[in-house]
Amino acid sequence: MALGTALFVLFAPLPLLAFPLAVLLAATPARGKAALLTGAAGAGISLAWLLLPGTLPDQLVRAALVLTTGAFVAATVTTRWSFTHRALLALTVAAVFIGVLFVTFGWSWDELAWWVRSRTSYATRLAVSGLRVLTTGSGAGSADAALLGKEFDAWITTSSEMASMFFPALVALQILLGLGLATTLYHRIASNPRGVPLGRLREFRFSEHLGWAAALPLMIVLLPRMAALKVVASNLLLVTGALYALRGLAVAVAVAVLAGSGSMTAVFAAIAAFFLLPVALGGAVLLGVLDAGVDLRRRWSKPPTSERPWT
């Protein structure tokens, strides 16, 4: 919960949490005072955000949030599926509907990418302009300042291109995070919550069939004759990779619990993973893939055969 909250505060706007929480509370028959106040606040924040004017990326994020929330709440009220299955189904419904909108209204991926690239580039340049002023005023030579400026420009260009290419996947991950936090808060606030709660991180898992959502995009990315589908495949691969990384983190947490590690061990492990982020992410994805194949947690939680009691 703490990790998800920190990630949401850093990388996602508040309405991505407020809107699904408000809709979940509105779909609950019995509402207490806390639920009414929280739902009203969430609805106010969401309505103000939804009515704001915006560019094409802004409107697509809002449409994706509304569609995903509607499908997620419908699945929450009518089924007993796990959070992961409800959220992935809702994202799929939203993606298909938005794809239909692109075809119907003749929207262009190039136009969307241009908007995202321009906005990201402007925001990044604005953020680093202060650093440039400090660097120039600290006595650095003109040659060093020019070299640093070129490095900044190259980094900004690369980050803007990456943001535009993976815009759908980043939005999907933000919405998933918002749905997870909204579900957790909903089950704590509502007096009679609907649906299955989120569950503990160390118990996180999903159907092995999701492996096809990673294998097929990987084939498309690697095959040279399928360039037209590479953007879609790359975004789908990023989302599934994040899910496998989360599953790997769940395995690591479960192992720490089985080993009896304390909270300070978890803190030091999180700090080490932050400074070794590429290695940690790669290891988490690999661990998640292995767990999906052989269910590591079930195997490790069982005592050795020689230590099992007679039945």
pLDDT band of 134, cuts 50, 70, 90: low
Q: Is the separation of the CB atoms in 113 and 167 below 8 Å?
A: yes
Residue 270's pLDDT is what? 58
pLDDT band of 147, cuts 50, 70, 90: low
Type and span of the H or E element at 284: helix 277-294
Q: Convert 172-218 into a string of H (helix), E (strand) and C (coil).
A: HHHHHHHHHHHHHHHHHHCCCCCCCCCCCHHHCCCCHHHHHHHHHHH
Q: Is the separation of the CB atoms in 225 and 63 below 8 Å?
A: no
Report the range of poorest mean pLDDT among 143-147, 248-252, 259-263, 279-283: 143-147
Most confident of 94-103, 147-156, 201-210, 266-275: 94-103
Half-sphere exposure of 11 (CA within 13 A, CB side): 17
Is pLDDT at 288 greater than 80 in this prediction?
yes
Half-sphere exposure of 197 (CA within 13 A, CB side): 14
Q: CA–CA separation, 18 vs 40, rounded Å?
A: 10
Quick: pLDDT tens for 112-128: 888 888 888 877 777 66
- Would you say the C-alpha torsion 89, 91, 94, 99 has a positive or negative sign? negative
Residue 276's pLDDT is what? 61
Is pLDDT at 133 greater than 60 in this prediction?
no
Quick: pLDDT tens for 67-79: 999 999 999 999 9
Q: CA–CA separation, 260 vs 245, rounded Å?
A: 23
Is pLDDT at 297 greater than 80 in this prediction?
no
Residue 293's pLDDT is what? 78
Residue 308's pLDDT is what? 44
pTM summary value: 0.82
Q: CA–CA separation, 195 vs 184, rounded Å?
A: 11
> Residue with structure tokens 């103000």?
48
Of the two residues 45 and 141, the one the predictor is more confident about is 45
Is pLDDT at 186 greater than 90 in this prediction?
yes
Quick: pLDDT tens for 245-254: 888 888 887 7
Q: Is the separation of the CB atoms in 227 and 266 below 8 Å?
A: no
Token code pair at residue 22: 């408000």
